[in-house]
Amino acid sequence: MAAPKIVVFAGSIRTGSINEKLARAAARSLAAAGAEVTHISLRDYPLPLFDAELQARDGVPDSARRLVDLFLEHQGAFVASPEYNASFTPLLKNAFDWMSRINIEGRPPLPAFKQRVFALGAVSNGALGGYRGLTQLRAMMELGLGALVLPDMVAVGNAAEAFSEDGGLTAPRTSAFLDEVVRKLVHHAGALA
Ligand SMILES: Cc1cc2nc3c(=O)[nH]c(=O)nc-3n(C[C@H](O)[C@H](O)[C@H](O)COP(=O)(O)O)c2cc1C
């Protein structure tokens, strides 16, 4: 069986992003679990704030089309999302909103999300590790985008102590949990490969 292809990215483009650190740890774990990993930054897919008039005038921006094409080449994704006011980032919402405007002839709507499996993680300086934001992200992805989202979500609190020098997660239980979620992602994505 071909290795499942998984795209990994953070919902932050901030230099020094703690969620980008989690994306890196997840990418490493995914590669160890046998996935073919594509680690991207949303910085390379700049998008204006969604505006229906802009879409009517200019169409969907090229970055959104490139993201949809990328998702179509993969069976799954790991998304590491910061928590903003108990929700997820506008960067992520905007990217997914633009992507949701793309239809492909002969395919059902939301081609980038349906028939694909997603795992979610978050890092925050607080004790809850961004978990509240992940519940909102899950709801949007499942209810709005029709995505299959794994029930387990990797919430990493106390960010300042969360990562070791080599980029791994310092807490053995959290590190083992990330590996477990990653294995599930690879397993389910493998069934779609
Ligand atoms: C607008 C805004 C709202 C935030 N709300 C929360 C929050 O609800 N819970 C939390 O734990 N951290 C919150 N934070 C702090 C972020 O978790 C912190 O800035 C984190 O470093 C962002 O992730 P990043 O490093 O990957 O960019 C908020 C930050 C911003 C800018």
Answer yes or no: are the C-beta atoms of 138 and 88 closer than 8 Å.
no
Domain ranges of the chain: 5-192
How remote is the CA of residue 48 from the centroid of ligand 1, in Å?
22
Residue whose Cα lies nearest atom 9 of ligand 1: it is 83
Residue 40 pLDDT: 98
pLDDT of residue 193: 85
pLDDT given at position 1: 66
- Superfamily (CATH) of domain 5-192: Flavodoxin domain (3.40.50.360)
| Separation between Cα atoms, residue 21 and residue 159, nearest integer Å | 10
* Low-confidence residues of the chain: pLDDT under 50: none
Extract the runs of DSSP E, i.e. beta strands, from 56-191.
Answer: 76-80, 117-123, 148-156
**CA-to-CA distance for 96 and 77, rounded, in angstroms?**
13
The shares of helix, strand and coil residues in the chain, as percent rounded to the nearest 5, are 45, 20, 40
List residues near ligand 1 (CB under 6 A). 10, 12, 14, 17-19, 82-86, 124, 126, 130
pLDDT at 121: 98
Nearest protein CA to atom 25 of ligand 1, as residue: 17
Residue 118: its pLDDT value, please?
98
Q: What is the pTM of this model?
A: 0.97
Cβ atoms of 39 and 80 within 8 Å: the answer is no
Radius of gyration of the chain (CA): 16
CA-based torsion, 120, 178, 8, 148: positive or negative: negative
Q: Quick one: how many helices (H) and strands (E) in the chain?
A: 6, 5
